[in-house]
Amino acid sequence: MTQNSMQAVAYEVLEQGNNKNVALVWMQNPPVNALSKSVRVGLIAAIEQALSDDSVAAIVISSKQTLFSGGADISEFSGGDFEPPLPKVLDLIENASKPVIAVLNGPAFGGGLEVALSCHYRVTFAANKVGLPEVNLGILPGAGGTQRLPRLAGVAQALDMIVSGRPVAAKKLPGVFDLVVEQAESLLNEAMAFCNKVINDGAIIKRTSEVTIDPNTAPAELFTQYRQGIAKQARGFFAPERCIQAVEAAVSLPFLQGLDREGELFMECMASKEARAQQHFFFAERAASHVKDYDKTTPTRDIRKVGIIGAGTMGGGIAMNFANAGIPVTMLELKQDALDKGLALIRKNYENSAKKGKLSLAQVEERMALLGGSTSYDDLSDVDLVIEAVFEKMSVKQEVFKSLDAVCKPGAILASNTSTLDLDEIAAATTRPQDVIGLHFFSPANVMKLLEVVKGEKTSADVIKTTMMMAKKINKVAVLVGVCFGFVGNRMIESYGREANRLMLEGANPEHVDKVIYDFGMPMGPFTMGDMAGQDIGYFVRQSRQEFIKHDPSYCVIADRLVEQGRVGLKAGKGAYLYAEGSRVPIPDPAVTAIAKQEAERLGVEQRNISDQEILERIIFPLINEGALILEEGIAAKSSDIDVIYVYGYGFPVYRGGPMQYADEIGLKTVYDAMCKYRDELGEHGKNWFKPAPLLKKLAEQGKRFSDL
């Protein structure tokens, strides 16, 4: 055996005599075998060496990492060296005069799968997964994936893989793989036997590009139906339609022309603002876990047992996250019946998942077995972390924390799920404020990915690090924030409801406002959202926030009137809209516009026609402005953290990258100028609520972006 290492690609020759040697080409670019420049260069050199060696009869491409390859090196997207481009490497592989066999020892994604598709044979194990996830970054597979996968997997299967980006198990792709072995452990041996069979059978070369697609397998209706099927989830995204067009090209054009078309569509995607936003978001999510408050040397605490105070809406959902991760939970309520009710609701949730086939009945029981209940604080003496989710009232929370302080073991982390209250005041009820932290889950807590981790003035670094790491274990995306009313997410959303109400006072109707916001990409408009959550929730918050709003007599007056008339939203069958019995479909109600008219007259607000643009700017720009204040105050460490909070917590469209990325994209001067315009044109309301944040002003004047900070 001869061996020589070419950095990211190792080359060795398996001597078998009689000119039947096999060249083994190993990709070795940890951690994920990204197809960085060094790998592309290495692959070319290895293939050329194998081709020029007369003793070599076949070439195997594989990896010694856990992944075959995770695909393109995304860090090269912004200004990397693209030479040699991946398609050039794949051309060399596909046109090689000796058979090239891809042995997929682990998952192959994106460019990694494209490498395999350009080989003449593919071998893997049944459970291995492959996919083309480029669509999630706002682009499409640009190295022949859209042309080769339909030729091997079939058009319908390839279309779904390329447009959804979802990985598929190898055993479900018989057209793609020439050999699928059952066990991963036997892969290498069986792959070598397969390779020798190829050599002994005459070293036949099977080029994917030469496979013809039977047009009967891809009628025009297939594409029409697929487009209709994904219309809702693809709303606003740029790449899915281009992915579909690329697969259509695979059907209608010869291979080389299809590749050209794929290239054009790829460039269109790369130049789109949606791709910029999605790629920004990809990095933003990863950057959220890089915080300055701790480092590698900071110790962490073990979390083996968790306590939860309050088995209501949030407590129940939070408990499920831990049970799902195999961590035992003790739930505490003051009364047994409240506890029983909470646990019964959790069981019902799990059983519903089982009915949908997401869990087995055995799994339901396993998870329920991890959930215990108690009405005595003494049962929390050995928990490592306790999360309080009782009523949102300072005196109640302080009482709970005093009790926890008395019973919990030293070093236990004491967390609160408060949405609005001052964490430092809660911590002050204990003798160990360094162990107190906010863990702000979003509802429904077992579903929503976001977790705002709120650090108090005295929270210790190891408590922050432990909870940030724990978030990953329970499958949440954690963002570290500071203490202020509503933290980042709810503080910024304040303007959303306030301006929606004010626009109505000025003459817009709820369905108009909601349509503009829905069309912008939010899952629903502010009035629908208010009805779903319950208009009374905002009402109670306003009651407790009088010092902040009492200077503005028009503040959310319509919402106040709605609640006073019992129009609390969906649960009452009426709110900003009407709802038919058992239906969630909002029906516009003239009675609501009549309330707005009456209130406008009472407050001397002139009603008028309001444009879509004004609605959008008045609802979204103050939210961005609040984000700027949050950055200035250091409540969020970076603008991308705010974007993560908004996409995961509030459904802000990922193809806009989050509010701060959206502002960067349209230009901070645009946002700043509009804030000034509304400040000057909307009278008292403008003066009250459209004061541009100094940071927004500064960056706009300097022609900078939030992401430059």
Q: How far is the CB of 491 from ligand NAD (least distance, A)?
A: 13
Q: Which residue, among 408, 403, 413, 410, has the nearest Cα to 460 in the 3D structure?
A: 413
Contact predicate 155/250, CB 8 Å? yes
Q: How far is the CB of 391 from ligand NAD (least distance, A)?
A: 5
Between CA 126 and CA 300 the distance in angstroms is 38
Q: Which is nearer to ligand NAD, 419 or 554 (CB)?
A: 419
Q: How far is the CB of 399 from ligand NAD (least distance, A)?
A: 6
Catalytic residue of the set 114, 248, 499, 626: 114
DSSP reduced 3-state for 262? helix
388 catalytic per annotation: no
Between CA 13 and CA 46 the distance in angstroms is 11
Q: Which is nearer to ligand NAD, 145 or 456 (CB)?
A: 456
Strand residues in 93-185 grouped as ranges (E): 100-104, 108-109, 121-125, 129-131, 168-169, 179-181
The DSSP string of 290-343 is --TT--TTS-------EEEE--SHHHHHHHHHHHHTT--EEEE-SSHHHHHHHH
Q: Which is nearer to ligand NAD, 256 or 334 (CB)?
A: 334
The DSSP string of 546-557 is HHHHTT-TTTTH
Q: Kindly state the tokens that stand for 240.
A: 């899915």
Between CA 400 and CA 367 the distance in angstroms is 27
Kind plus residue range of the DSSP H or E element containing 231: none
Task: Please report how the helices 510-520 and 489-505 are oriented relative to each other, as an axis angle in degrees rounded to 10.
Answer: 140
Between CA 313 and CA 222 the distance in angstroms is 43
Q: Give the type of residue at 520.
A: F
Name residues whose C-beta falls within 8 Å of residue 367's C-beta, 6 or more positions apart in sequence: 320, 323, 324, 350, 359
Contact predicate 65/33, CB 8 Å? yes
Q: How far is the CB of 363 from ligand NAD (least distance, A)?
A: 25
Q: How far is the CB of 334 from ligand NAD (least distance, A)?
A: 5
Sign of CA dihedral 485, 490, 495, 501: negative
Between CA 674 and CA 622 the distance in angstroms is 10
Which residues are at the interface with ligand NAD (CB under 6 A)?
A: 309-315, 332-334, 338, 389-392, 396, 400, 417-419, 441-443
Q: How far is the CB of 644 from ligand NAD (least distance, A)?
A: 17
Q: Which is nearer to ligand NAD, 16 or 313 (CB)?
A: 313
* Residue with the shortest CB distance to ligand NAD: 312
Q: Which is nearer to ligand NAD, 318 or 562 (CB)?
A: 318
Q: Which is nearer to ligand NAD, 141 or 342 (CB)?
A: 342
Contact predicate 25/47, CB 8 Å? yes
Q: How far is the CB of 403 from ligand NAD (least distance, A)?
A: 8
Q: Which is nearer to ligand NAD, 391 or 548 (CB)?
A: 391
564 catalytic per annotation: no
Between CA 201 and CA 199 the distance in angstroms is 5
Name residues whose C-beta falls within 8 Å of residue 393's C-beta, 6 or more positions apart in sequence: none
Q: Which residue, among 251, 253, 266, 249, has the nearest Cα to 219 in the 3D structure?
A: 251
Contact predicate 130/174, CB 8 Å? no
Contact predicate 184/128, CB 8 Å? yes
Q: Spell out a b/e string for 427-452, using b for 16 or more CB atoms within 10 Å of the CB, else e.
A: bbbbebbebbbbbbbbeebbebebbb
Q: How far is the CB of 231 from ligand NAD (least distance, A)?
A: 30
Q: How far is the CB of 444 from ligand NAD (least distance, A)?
A: 8
Q: Which is nearer to ligand NAD, 165 or 310 (CB)?
A: 310
Q: Which is nearer to ligand NAD, 100 or 332 (CB)?
A: 332
Measure the CA dihedral 102/107/112/117, to 10°: 50
Q: Which is nearer to ligand NAD, 272 or 418 (CB)?
A: 418
Catalytic residue of the set 94, 134, 333, 494: 134
Q: How far is the CB of 475 from ligand NAD (least distance, A)?
A: 17
Sign of CA dihedral 642, 645, 647, 651: negative
Q: Which residues are catalytic?
A: 114, 134
